[in-house]
Amino acid sequence: KRAAADGEATARWPALADIARAEAELQGRALAETNATMRAEALAGDPLQRWWRPAYAFELTIECAAFFAVLIWSLGRGDAGPLNAATNATGLLTLYWGARFAVLGVYVNGRTREKEAATTGQPAPSVVETVVRAVRRRR
């Protein structure tokens, strides 16, 4: 059905088909250039490229541990001030840490994909690509 509809649309609106082809070609070139850049960065052996994700994760872990250590220490002393301040800032802290952990999740996913690409020589599929393939297989 879809192929017939695509053929009909191409026949009726050839300019739109040309635009779609040009856009697909442009996206393909951009993706190839991005992959080449990522491979070059991975092969460069730059220490910053290797260590910034683990450093970010380590810093975030220390930050959370320090925050909770201050709360526990204050409560142990009988000082409820820091707990009250944290309670009043719950919305801000939730947003802040939610964003930080979301970024960490993207970093971890990105590093995993880089390692897969380095191992296989092929770009690793994204989460969206994996879901799309699974849906297509079910049909």
Domain boundaries, the chain: 1-44, 46-139
Mean pLDDT of 122-135: 76
Residues above pLDDT 70, as percent of the chain: 95
Compute the average pLDDT of residues 76-105: 93
Look at residue 96 in the predicted model and tell me its pLDDT.
95
- Average pLDDT over every residue of 45-51: 73
Distances in Å between the Cα of 32 and the Cα atoms of 36, 102, 114 are 6, 27, 15
- Within 10 A of 92 (CB to CB), how many other CB atoms are there? 10
- Grade residue 72 by pLDDT with cuts at 50, 70 and 90: very high
What's the pLDDT score for residue 130?
Answer: 77
pLDDT at 19: 79
**pLDDT attached to residue 59:** 95
Sign of CA dihedral 104, 106, 108, 110: negative
Q: What is the mean pLDDT of residues 20-33?
A: 84
- pLDDT of 85 reads 93
Percentage with pLDDT > 90 across the chain:
33
pLDDT at 28 exceeding the cut of 90: no
Encoding tokens for residue 111? 């590093």
